Amino acid sequence: MRPIIGITTYVENATWGVWRDLPTTLIPHDYVAAVTLAGGRPVLIPQEDDTDVLRALDGLVLAGGPDLGPEMYGQEPGPHTVVRPERDTAELRLVRAALEMDMPVLGICRGMQLLTVAAGGTLHQHLPDLLGHEKHRPAPGVYGEHDARFEPGSRIATLMGDDLAIRCFHHQGVADPGTLTVTGRAEDGLPEAVEDPGRRFVLGVQWHPEVVRDRRLFGALATAARN
């Protein structure tokens, strides 16, 4: 049987058909397609405080989305920070419960940042202030393209092989990884991958592998969830 992979979701106002601007639980279809192609059975997780859903899952994808609330890592919000407090609360509780169960977890973009905060780490709230450029989010709806470098022997290095190209869209990034290990960086030194070598499968990537249906990363999650 295919492993059941939960995917966290957004709650945003959306418009379709005759319906206009309704609060909607949604996720880009790229995530669903990527999990399916990798051999998993995707299940969307609505934004709620209950973590009992984890008992029905074999693995978890922490999807991208808005900025994390800086109060989660001891900072005040900056002028460029846009948050969804209800999602922060629900997902932090969810990821902590999943980690306690040693459930395989793949964090994507915001999901990597959430893993970092759950591990006691901190974030940079606005990368252009730190790096002096906007290559990680060049324009609305436009992915930044980078060549990453990966730590030899790490899980991400093994999965990516000689393919160093990544596509990202974020203006925040990891400052302190907490108890996680940084295993990938962009050419400007910004962390692009984190792992927890002490767990069965905990991997966070700052880029968007779902967009290209990357079977290496989603396949590794599905394999870990199956075992």
Give the total residue count for the chain. 227
Q: What CA–CA distances, in Å, run from 198 to 27, 69, 72, 81, 94?
A: 30, 27, 24, 32, 19
Alpha helix locations (H) across the chain? 29-37, 85-100, 110-118, 127-131, 155-160, 215-226
Check 109, 136, 146, 168 and give the catalytic one.
109
33 vs 196: CA distance, rounded Å: 26
Beta bridge mates, 6: 43, 60
Active site residue 136: no
Check 91, 192, 195, 210 and give the catalytic one.
210
Active site residue 109: yes
The catalytic residue positions are 109, 208, 210
